[in-house]
Amino acid sequence: MLDKEETVERKKLGIGAMTIVTILTIVFVFLGVVLVMRMIGKNNLTTVVAGTENTEAAAEPEAGEKSGGLEENQIIYEGKRYALNTDLITILVMGIDKETVETIGGQSWSAEGASEYAGGQADALFLAVLNPHDKNVYVIAINRNSMVDVDVFDENGDYVGRFKKQVALQHGYGDGGEESCIRQVKTVSRMFHDIPIHAYAAISMDAIPALNDAVGGITVKVLDDIIYPEYDMDLHQGDMVTLDGRTAYWYVRLRNENAFNSNELRLQRQKQYLTTFAAEAKNQSMADIRVAVRLYQTVQKYMVTDIDLGSFTYLATEALDYDFDISSLYSLKGETVQGNLFEEFYIDEEALQELIITIFYEQVQEPDTRQ
Question: pLDDT tens digits, residue range 175-218?
Answer: 888 999 999 999 999 999 999 998 898 988 788 898 999 999 99
Q: What is the DSSP letter of 283?
A: H
At residue 195's C-alpha, the angle toward residues 190 and 199, to 5°, is 95
Number of domains observed in the structure of the chain: 1
**Does residue 266 fall inside a structural domain?**
no
**Does residue 223 fall inside a structural domain?**
no
**Does residue 173 fall inside a structural domain?**
yes
pLDDT value of position 47: 52
The per-residue b/e assignment along 243-266, b for 16 or more CB within 10 angstroms, e otherwise, is bebbbbbbbbbbbeeeeeebbeeb
Q: What is the DSSP letter of 31?
A: I
pLDDT value of position 6: 44
pLDDT value of position 58: 54
**Does residue 240 fall inside a structural domain?**
no
**Does residue 325 fall inside a structural domain?**
yes
The CB-based long-range contact list for 352-359 (8 Å cut-off, 24+ gap) reads 352/192, 353/58, 353/59, 353/60, 353/77, 353/193, 355/140, 355/330, 356/58, 356/59, 356/192, 356/193, 356/195, 357/58, 357/59, 357/77, 357/82, 359/129, 359/138, 359/140, 359/330
**Does residue 36 fall inside a structural domain?**
yes
Contacts of 138 (CB under 8 A, 6+ apart): 128, 129, 131, 328, 329, 330, 359
Residues of the chain where predicted confidence (pLDDT) is lower than 50: 1-22, 26, 33-46, 53-54, 57, 61-67, 100-115, 315
CA 347, CA 332: separation in Å to the nearest integer? Answer: 7
Residue 51, domain extent: 4-216+275-363
Q: Write down the mean pLDDT value for the chain.
A: 77
CA 192, CA 194: separation in Å to the nearest integer? Answer: 6
**Does residue 296 fall inside a structural domain?**
yes
| CATH code assigned at 132 | 3.40.630.190
- At position 14, the amino acid (one-letter code) is G
**Does residue 281 fall inside a structural domain?**
yes
pTM score of the predicted model: 0.77
